[in-house]
Copies of this chain bind each other. A is one copy, B any other.
């Protein structure tokens, strides 16, 4: 077994591989909780409905983590995936849009827990500024985005505004120095190539389910 390759050309690695690493992390956490110490790609695949060759290939991009004839050490594997995903240090988030979704996310365990920390919830609506979110943060003025990003060293912006405001908020986040943006507004955003924007349109998933219901025989 060799250590995690730090100098892989990450530009050539598919986003699909990255999102699967994230999934593997959940699986490995479950195994750790269950006290499993060693796991083969086949066991992982069977247990979590994955493909064993794909697991091996995804991991092999970043180093040789396994032992032939044995499998992977679960604890070690977790640590490697954590390092690959950059989860070995805290990542701070700023949420813009203190509506239902925004205030729910700021104390959603996936968002404020583990390596992620919500350090600000902003809105441009004066009637919302000063409100307490369920997590105890106060809603602040969206105009203060640049200073909040700088002072609190936020790296990730989360957009939970209505569609009409999203592009403006995105532009301001880019100007404020945020390099990674998670967008929940149902609109396609434009941003410089140096900034990564991921959009999650929750309605798309519902509409996929609707398509399935409309066309499934039965």
Contact = CB atoms under 8 A, between A and B. Distances in A.
Contacts of A23: 188, 201, 204
A85 B214 CA distance: 7
Interface of A: 10, 15, 18-19, 21-23, 25-27, 30, 48-49, 84-87, 91, 93, 100-101, 103-105, 107-108, 110-111, 114-116, 134, 155-156, 163, 179-182, 186-188, 190, 194, 196, 198, 200-216, 218
Given A23-B188, A186-B26, A180 B212 contact: yes
Interface centre among A93, A105, A116, A180 (most CB of B within 10 A): A180
Nearest to A27: B188
Contacts of A155: 213
B187 A110 contact: no
Given A186-B110, A201-B26, A202-B200, A216 B19 contact: no
A186 B215 CA distance: 28
B218 A179 contact: yes
Given A26-B188, A87-B207, A200-B200, 10 more contacts: A19-B208, A49-B188, A49-B190, A91-B213, A155-B213, A156-B209, A156-B210, A180-B213, A194-B218, A200-B205
B134 A202 contact: no
12 contacts: A15-B208, A49-B188, A86-B210, A100-B107, A101-B108, A104-B105, A110-B186, A156-B210, A179-B213, A180-B213, A196-B212, A200-B205
Contacts of A187: 26, 30
Given A22-B204, A202-B200, A104 B110 contact: no
B22 A207 contact: yes
